[in-house]
Amino acid sequence: MSPASADTPTPDSHLIIDKATKAFGDTPVLHQVSLSVHRGITTAVVGPSGSGKTTLLRLIAGFEAPDSGTITLADELVAGPGKLVPAHRRNVGYVAQDGALFPHLSVGRNIAFGLDKKRFSGRAAEARVAELLEMVSLEPAYARRRPDELSGGQQQRVALARALAREPELMLLDEPFSALDAGLRVATRKAVARTLAEAGVTTILVTHDQGEALSFADQVAVMRRGELAQIGNPFVVYTRPSDRETAEFLGDAVILDADLQGSLATCALGGIPVRRPTCQGRVHLMLRPEQIRIVPEGQIKGTVLETDFFGPEVTVRLRLHANGHGSADGGKDHQETITIRHWNATLAKPGSELNLRVIGEGVAFPA
């Protein structure tokens, strides 16, 4: 499988991975992975557990060597046939899921551990530690605390400060927010993203959280079974996924049987435009739930079967009424069920009839 959106190296590419493979014993983990990361941007590698994300990060860091393929960092070949630059010479920062702080050292000494001892000693080191704490939105007084006196979010910020102390050209984040509760995860993620952007550090985040990848990164690479299925900016990979499996992994998807002729797909929701279709005839049409709106009047109707309340929104499961458009198999009485989102829980009560309208374009996959 080749990425649906080619990410061709350019003169501005900071990191170039070319056809990297990796296996552990008889178990293949990465298959011909190619990825180009431009200087100063943030890339999120997202995929389910076991897809090879962390292994890819370890190859970039220098903790593992690829079985074949090459890795070039800042125009220097760091891994390839007959060559492997060790991790400590790659000028790469690494923040693990648990932060991996030294429990017996104070916060200040944890951060100072990453400093160049020839450049920073005594008062200069203390000043640099205070500066790094400020960069991650922590007061200088935190330098005197121990890691076990900090919250999970604060520990992750200290881990980031320690990694930044090395002044890395590339920062690798291995699911650093997954152990935090929901509210703290969002706040910490924003603080980390802001710090890295202000420092101008090229960043790669590995995560299995789709929302985290889409909100954090300038570029998203979707990994599946050791291969990159799609690479692109977050809006593109979410709204125009390369295949059905990627579409359903990146978020909730409404999938309908349809008949595609030219750039118009006819389905239970009527005629839906499709941008740059790659197939014709019987297809599976993908829409995101937020594209299907409840309106006061309309020809598309559905009956509410059930709802789930989530505070600011409610998910609504509907049975679509026959509307004369028919389905892809030509049946006029075929009724499909879909799930959409709405903000008004009182409007969408089970048994009620709603009028619907589709906003935007759909994506067609071969049936």
| Whole-structure pTM value | 0.84
CB 251 within 8 A of CB 226: no
Confidence of residue 328 (pLDDT cuts 50, 70, 90): very low
Residues sharing a CB contact under 8 Å with residue 81, sequence separation 6 or more, in sequence order: 68, 70
CB 84 within 8 A of CB 65: yes
The pLDDT mean for the chain works out to: 88
pLDDT tens profile 53-106 = 999 999 999 999 999 999 999 999 999 998 999 998 998 988 887 778 889 999
Give 95's DSSP letter.
Answer: E
**For residue 128, pLDDT beyond 70:** yes
Confidence of residue 330 (pLDDT cuts 50, 70, 90): very low
CA distance 115 to 121: 9
Q: What's at 270, amino acid-wise?
A: G
- DSSP calls for 273-311: EBSS-S--EEEEEEE-GGGEEEESS-SEEEEEEEEEE-S
**Higher per-residue pLDDT: 187 or 162:** 162
- Which percentage of the chain shows pLDDT scores above 70? 93
pLDDT tens profile 194-209 = 888 888 899 999 998 8
pLDDT tens profile 208-227 = 889 889 998 999 999 999 99
Helix (H) or strand (E) holding 39: none
User: What is 13-239's CATH number?
Assistant: 3.40.50.300
Q: Where are the domains of the chain?
A: 13-239, 252-366
**Higher per-residue pLDDT: 347 or 99:** 347
- Backbone torsions φ then ψ of 155, nearest 5 degrees: -65, -40
- Which percentage of the chain shows pLDDT scores above 90? 57
Confidence of residue 314 (pLDDT cuts 50, 70, 90): confident
CB 288 within 8 A of CB 310: no
